[in-house]
Amino acid sequence: MNMSKRSFQVLALLFIITACFMPSSAFAQAQKPVFSEVTVHDPSIIKANDTFYVFGSHLASAKSTDLMQWTQISSSVNNNNPLIPNVYEELKETFEWAESDTLWAPDVTQLEDGKFYMYYNACRGDSPRSALGLAVADDIEGPYKNQGIFLKSGMDGISNDGTPYDATKHPNVVDPHTFFDKDGKLWMVYGSYSGGIFILEMDRKTGLPLPNQGYGKKLIGGNHSRIEGAYILYNPETQYYYMYMSFGGLAADGGYNIRVARSKHPDGPYYDAEGHAMIDVRGKEGTLFDDRSIEPYGVKLMGNFSFENKSGYVSPGHNSAFYDEDTGKSYLIFHTRFPERGEEHEVRVHQMLMNKEGWPVVTPHRYAGEKLGKVKKSDVTGDYQLVRHGKDISADIKESVDIRLNQSGKVSGEVTGKWKKTGKNRIELTIDGKKYHGMLLRQWDTNAERKVMTFSALSRDGDAVWGSK
């Protein structure tokens, strides 16, 4: 179609006029991000060919190019699963040892040869009888071919250090995460409940553990404390390794919550914000699943919560994390259940920001492409819904309360205190006498269907507060 310069200018002017007089709700609708949901329990993320993939329990997987719109690739363990076709024959030894017909949380990494290495695992479930092995594929979407089991656990066997297996001190060999440190060394962190979380140094060419390590080095846990799903991510800006973990039970009534500790070294020691050494965190001697022993420790980033508009999560956890070197953005990827929706779960992605103290804070709303930028004080003042995550491990849902950040710097409403904007997008709050350091970010509120100012902050006790305007 031929169009004169004059006609084009007239059309452009009409568009501008229409936009100016468009109701704000219509404009917001036009700007509304699009999400599509998938179900992948324990999602472990990897980026390949400009696409993000998550691999999870039960051989489920999904992919996305923007971390918002996801496509399911696979959903259950069966012989037609494209990741590992004929899986019951391919992994026969694994299923027989673990006395199971399903697989637990895997991890996929790409090594120097360009191939993709899947660390699969299976567990009996009512005991730590587990097997952890390796399968390799030329294409990230499979098919993966089994290379065999390299770790076993269980009461009927000898442990990898040559002594009889003791579930209070030896690991349950599940939930692996394999990662490169800043110097190019390959590591695998793993473990769930039982004897705790362990780490092994791996051969970066074969993907298998280097010899003579046994189960490796212990990082946290023991005496059947409910700590699992460890995922370690290095941040070049802070020069710390961050170990994310899930405390509590994964069911809707289990109080699952995401915590973090950090170290200057990939294999620890790891510490929380109060300086507690994670190696000392374990269940009380002679106890089983004693949450009271472990709940004071680690930095709790998020747990059960609900805003007033009933948007919220139940038992969010078993996360992975991703740092984008090109943009400097960090993301938390996890599965979560929801208030009044039972055991149904979906994948969620939230952006993470680093606060003044060098700890990650999780933004209150799911990622919708938002970018960190300069914030005016006038944009921050106003009414907020405040969520206080606390440090407890509980099935209780933390309901938001109404507060106001006043121009004067006072916090009023259902909690009192003071606040101030520090720097172009940082915030410092004192709530009921406790100081929190955090970040300000304008985000898309899915339930309200509009952009809102938010804050996310942590105290030196390691508990998080979220605000959504």
User: 403-439 pLDDT, tens per residue?
Assistant: 999 999 999 999 999 999 999 999 999 999 999 999 9
Of the pLDDT bands very low, low, confident and very high (cuts 50, 70, 90), residue 195 is very high
Which position among 42, 175, 272, 445 bears the catalytic label? 42
pLDDT at 11 over 50: no
Q: Give the per-residue pLDDT at 212.
A: 94
pLDDT tens readout for residues 436-465: 999 999 999 999 999 999 999 999 999 999
Q: Give the per-residue pLDDT at 30.
A: 43
> Rounded CA gap, 256 and 41, in Å?
13
User: Hey, what are 399's tokens?
Assistant: 């309901």
43-362: CATH number: 2.115.10.20
- 139 tagged catalytic: no
pLDDT tens readout for residues 95-112: 999 999 999 999 999 999
Q: Give the per-residue pLDDT at 24.
A: 41
Of the pLDDT bands very low, low, confident and very high (cuts 50, 70, 90), residue 14 is very low
pLDDT at 15 over 70: no
- CA-nearest of 371, 369, 367, 365 to 385 is 365
**What percent of the chain is modeled with pLDDT above 70?**
93
pLDDT at 4 over 90: no
Q: Give the per-residue pLDDT at 13.
A: 44
377-468: CATH number: 2.40.128.10
Q: Give the per-residue pLDDT at 360.
A: 98
What are the helix (H) ranges across 22-121?
24-30, 87-90, 92-98
Average of pLDDT values for 303-332? 94
**In the chain, domain spans:** 43-362, 377-468
pLDDT at 159 over 60: yes
Q: 25-34, 56-65, 380-389, 453-462: which has the minimum mean pLDDT?
A: 25-34
Between the alpha carbon of residue 225 and those of residues 4, 11, 297, 366, the distances in Å are 73, 66, 12, 30
Q: Give the per-residue pLDDT at 18.
A: 43
Q: Which residues of 288-320 are buried (b: 16+ CB within 10 A; e: fewer)?
A: eebbebbbebbbbbbbbbbbeeebbbbbbbbbb
**What percent of the chain is modeled with pLDDT above 90?**
90
Of the pLDDT bands very low, low, confident and very high (cuts 50, 70, 90), residue 158 is low
Average pLDDT, the chain: 93
Q: Give the per-residue pLDDT at 461.
A: 97
Q: Which residues of 44-71 are buried (b: 16+ CB within 10 A; e: fewer)?
A: bbbeeeeebbbbbbbbbbbbbeebbebe
pLDDT tens readout for residues 63-81: 999 999 999 999 999 999 9
Strands 398-399 and 305-306, by their bridges, are parallel
Average of pLDDT values for 200-229? 97
Which position among 90, 107, 175, 228 bears the catalytic label? 228
- 370 tagged catalytic: no
Average of pLDDT values for 260-268? 98
CB count within 10 Å of CB 30 equals 9
Q: Give the per-residue pLDDT at 25.
A: 41
Q: 4-18, 208-222, 327-341, 445-459: which has the minimum mean pLDDT?
A: 4-18
pLDDT tens readout for residues 37-49: 999 999 999 999 9
Q: Give the per-residue pLDDT at 311.
A: 87
User: Hey, what are 277's tokens?
Assistant: 């050494």
pLDDT at 20 over 80: no
Continuous segment of H or E residues that includes residue 20:
helix 5-21
Handedness of CA 77, 80, 83, 85 (dihedral sign): positive
